[in-house]
């Protein structure tokens, strides 16, 4: 997948642009294509249904994101929704309505959120419009969220007689605390982007047309950092959400130690001593390539 890849058939549930091209202020790709090295753009492509997350879409999403994760050329992944109205308005309610407890447990699509959350590559959600139910949960499964001023988050499942099932009760509680999470999940109230930013689960709020460009620029900044250190940092911070403090600190210490002897650590510290900028491996370059960087 190291070469530029893009799938743009109208029936594809997921579009992939890798490397993604830089966007102009209107969110459209700059011409000629200005690739952002190491950055992949994954688009949920069901705009007519407000990018509702059908099982088929979730499965394709997980497969595409995992394939990117396995590609050393990919250093950061941006996930967004097609169109301007929604990131994703939730799981596909028509499809959900026909499910049973057994069929849900057997469905591979159900694990889509966890599979996205589990990739080692940093992920950023670029959210315009509605991010509701499973859509909000998908954004929360990403490592960072860049939201448009017109973005709205919410867990409206209570209005359907169910509860969040894509990790929302857990990830939201860890992100903003029990009381706020209880309120949002028990009332189904929608949260506008500026409030989401104040609550602390959105990184930044930008004018709608600039959302994708801002997310891609953030991804490019991350993609330009030392790759092993980035993956270690991602794993360590995520551990804070999954382990008690003592265990998380042990995870951090192990990851810290594991970086010693890597090209990143050697180049980073050598550059500091030599009073120059570090030269990190370009996306796709082998670890050996960094040895010649000094």
Interacting residues with ligand CO8 (CB under 6 A): 49-50, 52, 89-94, 104, 109-110, 130, 132-134, 156-157, 160, 165-166
Peptide bond into 203 cis (omega under 30): no
Q: Which of 88, 91, 151, 290 is catalytic?
A: 91
| 266 labelled catalytic | no
Nearer to ligand CO8, 49 or 229 (CB): 49
Sheet containing 5-6: give its strands across: 5-6, 14-18, 39-44, 76-81, 123-127, 144-148, 204-206
Q: Could you say which of 17, 157, 210, 228 is catalytic?
A: 157
For tokens 């799938």, what's the residue? Answer: 7
What DSSP character marks residue 188?
Answer: -
**109 carries an active-site annotation:** no
- Please identify, using beta-carbon distances, which residue of 89 and 230 lies nearer to ligand CO8: 89
**What is the rounded CA–CA span in Å between residue 292 and residue 294?**
6
Q: What minimum distance in Å lies between the beta carbon of 63 and ligand CO8?
A: 16
Shortest distance (Å) from residue 51 CB to ligand CO8? 8
| The Cα angle at residue 65 between residues 226 and 248, in degrees rounded to 5 | 55
Catalytic residue among 134, 135, 167, 168: 134
Q: Active site includes 134?
A: yes
What is 34-84 written as a DSSP string?
-B-TTEEEEEE--GGGTT-B-HHHHHHHHHHHHHHHT-TT--EEEEEESSS
> Minimum CB separation from ligand CO8 for residue 69, in Å?
22
- Element housing 28 (H / E): none
Nearer to ligand CO8 by Cβ, of 69 and 157: the residue is 157
Q: How far is the CB of 243 from ligand CO8 (least distance, A)?
A: 25
Nearer to ligand CO8, 125 or 255 (CB): 125
Q: Which is nearer to ligand CO8, 67 or 93 (CB)?
A: 93
In the set 27, 73, 89, 137, the catalytic residue is 137
Residues annotated as catalytic are 91, 134, 137, 157
């Amino acid at each position: 997948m190291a070469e530029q890849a893009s799938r743009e058939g109208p029936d594809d549930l997921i579009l992939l642009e890798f490397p993604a091209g830089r966007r102009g202020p209107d969110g459209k790709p700059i011409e000629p294509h200005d690739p952002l090295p190491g950055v992949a753009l994954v688009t949920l492509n069901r705009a007519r249904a407000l990018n509702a997350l059908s099982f088929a879409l979730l499965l394709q999403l997980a497969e595409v994101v995992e394939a990117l994760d396995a590609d050393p050329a990919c250093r950061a992944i941006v996930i967004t929704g097609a169109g301007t109205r929604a990131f994703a308005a939730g799981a596909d309610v028509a499809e959900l309505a026909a499910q049973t407890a057994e069929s849900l447990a057997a469905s591979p699509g159900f694990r889509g959120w966890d599979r996205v959350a589990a990739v080692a590559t940093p992920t950023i959600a670029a959210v315009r419009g509605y991010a509701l139910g499973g859509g909000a949960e998908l954004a929360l499964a990403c490592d960072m969220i860049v939201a448009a001023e017109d973005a709205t988050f919410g867990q409206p499942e209570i209005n359907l007689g169910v509860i969040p099932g894509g990790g929302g009760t857990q990830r939201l509680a860890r992100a903003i605390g029990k009381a706020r999470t209880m309120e949002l999940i028990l009332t189904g109230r929608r949260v506008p982007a500026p409030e989401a930013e104040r609550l602390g689960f959105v990184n930044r709020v930008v004018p709608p047309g600039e959302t994708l460009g801002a997310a891609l620029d953030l991804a490019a900044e991350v993609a330009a950092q030392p790759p092993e250190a980035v993956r270690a940092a991602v794993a360590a911070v995520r551990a804070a959400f999954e382990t008690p403090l003592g265990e998380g600190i042990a995870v951090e210490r192990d990851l810290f130690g594991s970086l010693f002897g890597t090209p990143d650590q050697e180049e980073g510290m050598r550059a500091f001593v030599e009073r120059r900028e570090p030269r990190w491996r370009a996306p796709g370059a082998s670890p050996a390539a960094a040895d010649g960087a000094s």
